[in-house]
Structure 1
Amino acid sequence: MYLSKSLYEKTPFLYVALAAYVFYTQNSFIAIFASSILYLAAAVIWIKRSDHRRKNRILQTLNHFKIPQLIYEFYPFLFLAIFAAIIKYSQQAWVLAVGLLLALIAIKNLIMRHQARINPVKLGKNFTHKSD
C-alpha cells in the first residue's frame, strides 16, 4: 500500500496529534499506553527520516557532548513528553514553567537539527575527525 507524498510527510504529525488527543481525553492506563506507543512511533519515524535525509554525513559521527546517539536523538521527544505530562497532571505554576521551558528547548533543538541537516556546514581544512 502506497501513501500519497503529502500524507506520507504528515504521518509523524498525525501520530502525535492522535497521541495527544488520546492522552488528554482518556484517563485509562490502556489509553495512556496506546498514546505513548503512538508518540514513540512518531518519534522513531521522525528520527529515521531525518537520518535518511541527512546531507552532512561526516558530522553525523561527531560526539554530541559524549551523549550516546540514541539518547541524543530522542531527548527532544522526551522533553515534549514530559511537558505533556506536566500539562495534564500538574497545577503548580513553577512546574508548568519548567515544562514550558523543556518544550521550548525541545522545539528549538528540533528546528536547529532540521536546518543543520538540510543545510550542511562546510568543513574547513583544519577539521580533523577522530574515530573512537
Structure 2
Amino acid sequence: MIPERLYETLPYLYVISGAQSVLWLPHWTAALSGVVLIFVGAVVWVIRCEKRRSPYGIKFKEQGVLPFWCYELQPFIYLSGGALLFNYAPSYLLYPSAMILLVLGIQLWLCRICWRSHSK
C-alpha cells in the first residue's frame, strides 16, 4: 500500500518529470517519453478530480462548448507544446511563444487546482 501523501502527489510528479525530460534531454525519444508522461499524469489527475466531485455539483455538459477531454487536457497540451517548442524550435524567435504557452498552461492548471479544491 502506497502512503497517502505519495499517492496524492503522483500525478504532479508525473507531469513535472515529463516536462523536465522534454525540456532538458535533447533526444526525440526523451521528448516523446516526456509528453507521454505528462499526459499520463494529466489523465490520472482528471480521473481523480472527476471521481471526487459531488454528484450534485455543476456538470460539465452545462459548461462551455469544448468536449470534456479537450477542456480537461487543455493546460497539459499548452505545457507540452511550450516545452517542445523550447527544446526543438528552429529559431530563437519562437522562444517568447514557448514561454507564453508554458505560463498559460501552468496558470490554467493552477486555477483548476484552486477551483476544485475549494469546491469540495
Give TM class, smaller chain: 0.7 to 0.9
Aligned to 1:27: 27
Letter of the 2:33 counterpart: A
Cα separation, 1, equivalents of 2:97 and 2:28: 26
Q: Deviations over 1:96-117 (max 9, x none)?
A: 2122222222222222222222
Q: Which structure's residues are more often helix, by fraction?
A: 2
Once the 2 structures are TM-superposed, how far is the Cα of residue 70 of structure 1 from its aligned partner? 0.9
Secondary structure (helix, strand or coil) at the match of 2:59 reads helix
41-50 or 101-110: bigger deviation? 101-110
1:9–1:57 Cα change, 3 Å:
same
Q: Find the aligned partners of 1:110 and 1:56 in 2 and give their Cα distance.
A: 23
**Which of the pair has more CA radius of gyration?**
1
Task: Please name the residue that 1:103 is paired with.
Answer: 102
- TM-score, normalised via structure 1 length: 0.73
1:28 to partner: Cα distance: 4.3
Equivalent residue number for residue 81 of structure 1: 80
Measure how far apart 1:32 and its partner are. Answer: 3.0
Give 1:77 deviation, angstroms.
Answer: 0.2
Matched residue, 1:63: 63
Q: 1:83 touches 1:99 (CA, 8 Å); kept in 2?
A: yes
Identity %: 24
Kept in 2: contact 1:26–1:32 (CA 8 A): yes
**In the TM superposition, what is the alpha-carbon distance from 1:55 to its structure 2 partner?**
4.5
Instruction: Report what 2:92 is aligned to.
Output: 92
Q: Which amino acid aligns with 1:18?
A: S
> Contact (CA 8 Å) 1:12, 1:42: kept in 2 or not?
yes
RMSD across aligned positions (CA):
2.1
Please name the residue that 2:10 is paired with.
Answer: 11
Structure 1: where are the runs of 5+ without partners? 121-132
CA distance in 2, matches of 1:69, 1:21: 27
Q: Which residue of 2 aligns with 1:38?
A: 37
TM-score by length of 2: 0.80
Q: Aligned residues, how many? A: 116
